Amino acid sequence: MCTVLDGAIAFWSTTRQAAAVRAREFSAHALLELYTARIERLNPAVNAIVTLDLDRASRDAATVDERLERGEDVGPLAGIPMTIKDAIAVAGIRSTGGAAEVQDHVPSEDAPAVAALRAAGAVIMGKTNVPRWCNAETETHNELFGTTNNPWDLSRSVGADMNVFGPITRSADDLALLLDVLAGPSPEDALAWRVALPAPRRSRLAEYRIGTWFDEPDLPVAAEYRAVLERAAGELRAAGAHVEASHPSVGFREQLDLWMALAGSAASPSLPADIQAAASGTHLRWLRNHERREVLRDRWRAWFDDHDALLSPVVLTVAPHHDFSGDPFARSIDVDGVPRNIMMEIPQWTGLVNVIGYPACVVPIGATEEGLPVGMQIVTSYLRDRESIDLARHVANVVGAFEQPPL
């Protein structure tokens, strides 16, 4: 059994790594050491990992190896090292949400998602950076841990806040694996509730009926990014999929206004004091907005009667350069000669989907001429999560999969 692993193994899919650990091609402890060495080498430049608990991680990895020695089942994640966003509680590890007010907070219990990962065999090794309170910032930056840099270009951001939790993986197969681990009722509902997401209805790419929503005059994406999106759609069409420019009969601005209203209410406690009350509103206003959301969901449901998926942009352009100047709500970047507000406009394509609660995943589809990667949203109908992942698998096969950053 190997003790020092080839660095290429770090870029294997989780599915492949877990299979190798179960087959005892290498140990869970050796895999943990591989990622520990990568963190020591790369994290000073990227600053993604903000807290490590290598003592417990080492014990947990050793336990996986010991159980394998005894021929026991170690779960689908079989000793895979993982990090958790610092906004999610991990027992025994400082969990701050990027806020100095709770910089010494150490939860006594795992959040349900973390508990599910552990039960499936994952080895939790540390926490990753988030914006302060996961909100009210255009960068993954806070006064506790500083700024996280983009591994494709250290001078650029890794994202504005969107307050959405979900697994980040290197393959669609890994998404499917983690969906099985994480999808389920909250602990208090587990006595009676079950989640049984249906299998994909299509067996071949040629059976998929796909709409695209790449163009919106009110908020156009950068032309160079748009070209990569169109190229990806064309490659799917050439591979046999039925792809057309079509989307649900909802107004882009109408739906985005609703998203801003609901997101503002949810985020109001972390907003500047002078706008908290206006953003939060009344309970009656929330109920009225929820009624509007149900009307929009009806239109999406009707569109999905004739389509399996919608492809759309993720943001407006490539990752922006770091910017910590002035008021976060006033910061902007240039998109084809037009200044666009980073906080209010850049994330609107994802907000379009978030507000209706439909499943979506983001897949890499290539890079712009300057070599920066861009992605595409795959949206499927309510509870058709497995179809979004299945189509992501087809996209990877046709368009291209994850590529290692130059760092």
pLDDT in tens, 78-136: 999 999 999 999 999 999 999 999 999 999 999 999 999 999 999 999 999 998 888 75
Domain boundary among 149, 184, 218: 149
pTM, to two decimals: 0.92
User: How far is the C-alpha of 348 from the C-alpha of 351, rounded, in Å?
Assistant: 5
Domain boundary among 149, 167, 191: 149
Q: Assess if residue 24 is contained within a domain.
A: yes
Are the beta carbons of 18 and 78 closer than 8 angstroms? Answer: yes
Same domain, yes or no: 255 and 349: yes
Phi, psi of 182 (to 5 degrees): -95, -30
Are the beta carbons of 360 and 378 closer than 8 angstroms? Answer: yes
- Other CB atoms within 10 A of residue 19 CB: 14
Same domain, yes or no: 227 and 108: no
Q: Assess if residue 59 is contained within a domain.
A: yes
Q: Where are the beta strands (DSSP E) in 162-314?
A: 209-212, 242-245, 309-312
User: How far is the C-alpha of 264 from the C-alpha of 302, rounded, in Å?
Assistant: 28
User: How far is the C-alpha of 232 from the C-alpha of 369, rounded, in Å?
Assistant: 15
Same domain, yes or no: 144 and 220: no
Q: Assess if residue 189 is contained within a domain.
A: no
Same domain, yes or no: 77 and 223: no
One DSSP character per residue, 105-156 reads ---SS--HHHHHHHHTT-EEEEEE---GGG-S-SSSEETTTEEPPBTTBTTB
Look at residue 286 in the predicted model and tell me its pLDDT.
82
Same domain, yes or no: 129 and 246: no
Look at residue 325 in the predicted model and tell me its pLDDT.
85
Same domain, yes or no: 120 and 234: no
Phi, psi of 360 (to 5 degrees): -155, 150
Same domain, yes or no: 99 and 216: no
Q: Assess if residue 58 is contained within a domain.
A: yes
Are the beta carbons of 159 and 347 closer than 8 angstroms? Answer: no
Q: Assess if residue 29 is contained within a domain.
A: yes
Vertex 354, ends 235 and 145: CA angle to 5°? 100
Same domain, yes or no: 130 and 245: no
Query: What is the Rg, in whole angstroms, of the alpha carbon atoms belonging to the chain?
Result: 22
Q: What would you measure as the largest C-alpha separation in the chain, in angstroms?
A: 63
Q: Which residue range(s) make up the domain with 111?
A: 7-149
Look at residue 271 in the predicted model and tell me its pLDDT.
66
Same domain, yes or no: 137 and 57: yes
Tell me, what DSSP letter sits at residue 90? B
Select from 177, 184, 176 the least CA-distant residue to 391.
176
Q: Which residues in the chain land under pLDDT 50?
A: 1-2
End-to-end CA distance of the chain: 29
User: How far is the C-alpha of 353 from the C-alpha of 256, rounded, in Å?
Assistant: 9
Side chain identity, residue 248: P
Q: Assess if residue 77 is contained within a domain.
A: yes
Domain count within the chain = 2
Are the beta carbons of 100 and 143 closer than 8 angstroms? Answer: yes
Look at residue 2 in the predicted model and tell me its pLDDT.
47
3-state secondary structure at position 212: strand
Same domain, yes or no: 133 and 229: no
Domain boundary among 114, 133, 149: 149
- pLDDT digit string, tens, across residues 187-228: 899 999 999 999 999 999 999 999 999 999 888 999 999 999
Same domain, yes or no: 215 and 354: yes
Same domain, yes or no: 125 and 218: no
Q: Assess if residue 191 is contained within a domain.
A: no
Look at residue 160 in the predicted model and tell me its pLDDT.
80
Q: Assess if residue 393 is contained within a domain.
A: yes
CATH of the domain at 394: 3.90.1300.10
Are the beta carbons of 107 and 141 closer than 8 angstroms? Answer: no
Look at residue 128 in the predicted model and tell me its pLDDT.
96
Vertex 352, ends 346 and 357: CA angle to 5°? 130
Look at residue 163 in the predicted model and tell me its pLDDT.
58
The burial of 158, by beta-carbon neighbours within 10 Å (0-12 exposed, 13-18 middle, 19 or more buried), is given as buried
